[in-house]
């Protein structure tokens, strides 16, 4: 008797046997045995979402992705938005911003620790980076610090005290000039162009200051998915604590910033071409090392919209 072949049906995406390997004891995981250019099953997608919530930042080594595949990957975690309208985007993919620093010393040689856009009430949920070009000779690592692990370092009485405090966040708070210098000059606008004039930069800062006045934020927040408490104030965007003296404010903030800089709560990632990193902006702070001089470094970035839960 002959076998009747069924007409081919749209197959459910096959499971990949991916493996989540802890990267550092307190933060980060590397997702192994996965090819992100192939379709991911719903159970794979769920495993990736869970890994991000559990570890704060997840890495995938040496992935070959088209822009469309990068967007599809990002959509597993949320809705892409444009984070910085002054950055160039990939042709036909406005949600993929191109971060191309050809001079890492441009803004004073260092970054500062920050939570992306924590000077707005609804900061982005997460970010999905795909490395296109890595500086020859190394450098340009990104470092993440677990704000939940930082909270866990606090003595119980001190933690309770911080939980009662509020702070003010603003995009012009940075003690380093980098952030403001970038706003003033635009990121990748060629030197000497109209848009790179001091006047154009000042206008951008003036517009942003009007649109985004300083906001009040809690010093300690709770992650909406894993329930962990975390330190939300950050060196890049917090100007001061409310209800305490100026001296107390600066000293208490510096105490928290020192904890954020503790190596035990950090994951430092040395990029290779094709690497993907995804971080949960609600539970980690990050820092981009600007130690590659004038070597080229190019990253594609997709930022995911705040989802209402944080």
Residue placing its CB nearer to Fe ion in the complex, 119 or 162: 119
Residue placing its CB nearer to Fe ion in the complex, 20 or 284: 284
**From candidates 116, 235, 275, 280, binder to Fe ion by CB under 5 A:** 116
Contact string 151-170 vs Fe ion (x = CB under 5 A) = --------------------
Shortest Å distance, C-beta 146 to Fe ion: 16
Residue 111 binding Fe ion, by CB under 5 A: no
Which residues does 246 contact at the CB level (< 8 Å), separation at least 6? Answer: 240
Catalytic site includes residue 114: yes
Buried b (16+ CB within 10 A) or exposed e, 93-129: bebbbbbbbeebeebeeebbbbbbbbbeeebbbbbbb
Q: Parallel, antiparallel, or unpaired: how do β-strands 142-146 and 284-288 relate?
A: antiparallel
| Active-site residue, from 286, 297, 300, 306 | 286
Shortest Å distance, C-beta 186 to Fe ion: 16
Q: Which span (63-71, 115-123, 156-164, 215-223) binds Fe ion, by CB under 5 A?
A: 115-123
- 8 A C-beta contact, residue 100 and residue 160: no
Which residues does 174 contact at the CB level (< 8 Å), separation at least 6? Answer: 112, 114, 180, 235, 236, 237
| Active-site residue, from 237, 297, 300, 301 | 301
Sign (positive/negative) of CA torsion 254, 256, 261, 262?
A: positive
Measured from each CB, the residue nearest to Fe ion is 116
Shortest Å distance, C-beta 238 to Fe ion: 15
Cα(69)–Cα(72) distance, integer angstroms? 5
Which tokens hold the place of 283?
């539970």
Which tokens hold the place of 282?
């609600």
Catalytic site includes residue 19: no
Catalytic site includes residue 300: no
Residue placing its CB nearer to Fe ion in the complex, 26 or 116: 116
CA separation, residue 261 to residues 113, 146, 153, 206 (Å): 8, 10, 12, 32
Helix (H) and strand (E) counts in the chain: 7, 17
Residue placing its CB nearer to Fe ion in the complex, 116 or 235: 116
Shortest Å distance, C-beta 127 to Fe ion: 7
| Active-site residue, from 101, 114, 240, 300 | 114
How many amino acids of this chain bind Fe ion (CB under 5 A)?
1
Residue placing its CB nearer to Fe ion in the complex, 115 or 252: 115
Cα(204)–Cα(48) distance, integer angstroms? 38
**Active site positions, annotated:** 114, 116, 286, 301
Which residues lie near Fe ion (CB under 5 A)?
116
């Amino acid at each position: 008797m002959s076998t009747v072949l069924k007409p081919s049906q749209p197959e459910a995406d096959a499971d990949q046997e991916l493996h989540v390997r802890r990267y550092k004891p307190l933060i980060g995981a590397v997702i192994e045995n996965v090819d992100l250019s192939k379709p991911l099953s719903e159970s794979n997608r769920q495993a990736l979402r869970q890994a991000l919530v559990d570890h704060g930042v997840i890495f995938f080594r040496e992935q070959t992705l088209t822009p469309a595949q990068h967007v599809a990957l990002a959509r597993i975690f949320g809705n892409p938005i444009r984070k910085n309208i002054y950055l160039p985007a990939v042709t036909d993919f406005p949600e993929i911003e191109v971060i191309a620093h050809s001079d890492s010393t441009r803004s004073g040689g260092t970054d500062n620790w920050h939570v992306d856009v924590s000077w707005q009430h609804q900061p982005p949920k997460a970010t999905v980076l795909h490395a296109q070009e890595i500086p020859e000779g190394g450098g340009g690592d990104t470092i993440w610090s677990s704000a939940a692990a930082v909270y866990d370092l606090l003595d119980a009485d001190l933690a309770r005290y911080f939980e009662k405090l509020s702070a003010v966040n603003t995009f012009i708070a940075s003690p380093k000039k980098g952030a403001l210098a970038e706003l003033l000059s635009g990121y990748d606008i060629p030197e000497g162009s109209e848009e790179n004039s001091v006047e154009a930069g000042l206008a951008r800062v003036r517009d942003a200051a009007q649109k985004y006045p300083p906001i009040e934020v809690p010093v300690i927040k709770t992650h909406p998915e894993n329930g962990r408490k975390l330190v939300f104030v950050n060196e890049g965007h917090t100007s001061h604590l409310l209800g305490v003296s100026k001296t107390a404010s600066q000293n208490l903030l510096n105490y928290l910033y020192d904890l954020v800089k503790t190596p035990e709560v950090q994951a430092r990632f040395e990029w290779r071409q094709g690497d993907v990193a995804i971080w949960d902006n609600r539970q980690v702070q990050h820092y981009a090392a600007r130690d590659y001089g004038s070597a080229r470094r190019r990253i594609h970035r997709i930022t995911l919209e705040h989802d209402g839960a944080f």
